[in-house]
Amino acid sequence: MGMASKGDLTKARLAESMLELIQTSGYSGTGLNAVIEHAAAPKGSIYFHFPDGKEGLGVAAVELAAKQFETLIVEAAVAAGGPAEAARAAIEALTTIVSESNFRLGCPVSVVTLEMGADSERLRQACATAFESWISPTAAFLEASGVGADEARSLATVVVSTIEGAVIVSRAMQSTQPLVSAADVVAELISQRCQTVGGTR
């Protein structure tokens, strides 16, 4: 693979800055001038790389967040001994991120969904795609552990939804306890289901 061009690096930096600012200031609270300043990018660069402006930049930020968390899920799955341990490892990694940011950082996908899901079909779809990119590998990991396809999909959806809710509640309470509790409950739920499957073989 060749080296990324200067333009590609600027585009990536703008998306990264938009992502960070969404997490701390929300989508509506993030202005394009703030993104340019944060990214230390030339003033005309946003509309050069994102001709549709803030919406296009928001989509890029959501896609970046999706990739980051998908990587976290996959790495947890590879490192863990089973799906329950993988879920716990992923939640613990998120807990560290939220805690070390002094509860300023959360899930930018949920932020954009809540703020813009009813106003921008393009952003809503980007958020839906992001959530799907987390549900699918989780379901695949559960299937590989013997859970049926339909149940694996359902359980994966519950797991991702529980994590999303726990992040929001943790930030509101400025406490990691909701995430710690979510890790315990999710791991137990997955463990019970996998044991049931194993016992019926």
Condensed to tens digits (0 to 9), the pLDDT of residues 97-139 reads 999 999 988 899 999 999 998 999 999 999 999 999 999 999 9
pLDDT given for residue 124 in this prediction: 97
CA angle 141, 124, 129 (to 5 degrees): 25
CATH superfamily, domain 6-200, is Tetracycline Repressor, domain 2 (1.10.357.10)
CB 17 within 8 A of CB 9: no
Q: For the chain, what are the domain ranges?
A: 6-200
Q: How confident is the model at residue 7 (pLDDT cuts 50, 70, 90)?
A: confident
pLDDT given for residue 73 in this prediction: 87
- Structure-block tokens of residue 18: 């938009």
- Which segments of 41-82 does DSSP mark as H helices, in order? 45-49, 54-79
Higher pLDDT, 1 or 198: 198
d(CA 153, CA 148): 9
Asked if the model's pLDDT at residue 201 lies above 70, the reply is: no
- pLDDT (average), residues 158-181: 96
Q: How confident is the model at residue 1 (pLDDT cuts 50, 70, 90)?
A: very low
pLDDT given for residue 4 in this prediction: 64
What single-letter amino acid sits at 70? Answer: E
Q: How many helices (H) and strands (E) does the chain have?
A: 9, 0
Q: How far is CA 181 from CA 30, 67, 139, 150, 191, in A?
A: 32, 25, 21, 26, 15
User: What predicted TM-score, i.e. pTM, was given to this entire model?
Assistant: 0.89
